[in-house]
Amino acid sequence: MLLSDQKCTILVGEDEPEVLSYLETALKCMGYAVESARDGDEVLACLRSGGSEITAVLLDIVMLNRDGLDTLREIRSLDRQLPVIMLSGASVYSERGHRDEARGDGFSREARGA
């Protein structure tokens, strides 16, 4: 559900194709426009090239080339106000630890199939 009549664009940084596809589908069904990136470097390139259109970021913590925490630190140097929600399917990450460490705006564990 959108919070306003304005079309919001969510940038999803996720390296697993199945998870990325699910997130894109779910967000589009909720009325959001979606941009996708397969690693932290692509997330940063997207933000640098047209980041003013991005209204929030969903960012996987574990990715190739540049992980989510390094990417979050760089995002914060570009735009401290951009909402970023960290995602992880790994059970070793804690919500509190990552929010405190890199100042993400939220944390969610990725659902994994049984």
Start-to-end Cα distance in the chain: 28
CA dihedral 18, 20, 21, 26 (to 10 degrees): 120
Digitized pLDDT (tens) for each residue of the chain, 114 residues in all: 445 556 899 999 999 999 999 999 999 999 999 999 999 999 999 999 976 789 999 999 999 889 999 999 999 999 999 999 999 876 554 444 444 445 566 555 555 444
Cα-based angle 81, 85, 90 (whole degrees, multiple of 5): 150
